[in-house]
Each structure stands twice: as structure tokens, then as C-alpha cells.
Amino acid sequence: MRMTGARRALLLEATVWLALARVALLLLPFRKVAAHLGEVCLPAVAARRIEQSSGDPEAADDARAVAWAIRMMAGKVPFRAVCLQQGVAAKMMLRRRGIESALHFGVAPNATGLDAHAWLNTADAKVTGYPVGKEFTELACWY
């Protein structure tokens, strides 16, 4: 398999962040994890802030590369890396690169209760958790 060193490093970084997210979400109360995700805000406020950061082609390319790395490694790590772990890991990777992002958390009714889902976006990229079904109601957003 031919891959540049930078792409391999990105996959390694995604693996590390996915593992850290998994451990944090298993061992810590969610409020402790959430304190590191950024400011809790209304979805409309996050959308406006994200939109203001739009237009940097390099940031958009970086966000798409992070999305690729998370998607590739989420299915290969030896533990469950579902939408919440993916969103937390990608948010940390984007923060390291100075890219604004919003992590959303929502629920949808199902036959036995509720389904939960998390998704992450930047101004120019849908990073993790997409597509989001119309049945999901957003409960929280971290910017």
C-alpha cells in the first residue's frame, strides 16, 4: 500500500485520539469529558460561529483529511469507536490544527426508547457522524 508519511502519521494520530476518547468516555463522568470539548452553546450560535470561520481552503482540506483518518481507523481499532468517540477524537485533532468545529449530540425515538447520535462539522466539512437522520433532535452542542 502506497501512502505518504504524512498520511500514515495522520492515521496514527487518529488511532491515538480514538483510544484516548474511548478511555475517557469509559472512565470519566461525561461532564468531565464535556469540559474539554469547548463551550456549550445553542446550535444556531455554533452554526453562526462556524460559518464565520468559512473560506480557508487549507483548513477545509485539513478537516477532510481528519475525517478520512477517523473514518479509516474507527473500523480498525480493537475497540468500539462509535459516533461519540469519533466526534471527540476528531474535535481534538481539529483543535490541534486551529480549526473551529462544533460537536453536536442528539436523540431520536425508536421502538424501545431513544437512539443517541453525535456528529461533528466545520465550516467547510462534515467531519464525523454524517449523514444525520431528520428524526434526530439536537440536545447539546459544543463549540
Between the alpha carbon of residue 92 and those of residues 7, 111, 114, the distances in Å are 17, 34, 27
User: Which pLDDT score, from 0 to 100, does residue 37 have?
Assistant: 95
Q: Model confidence over 130-141: pLDDT tens digits?
A: 999 999 999 999
Domain that holds residue 94: 5-142
This prediction's pTM = 0.91
* pLDDT above 80: residue 54: no
Number of folded domains that form the chain = 1
Of 11-15, 44-48, 98-102, the range with the highest mean pLDDT is 11-15
d(CA 130, CA 120): 8
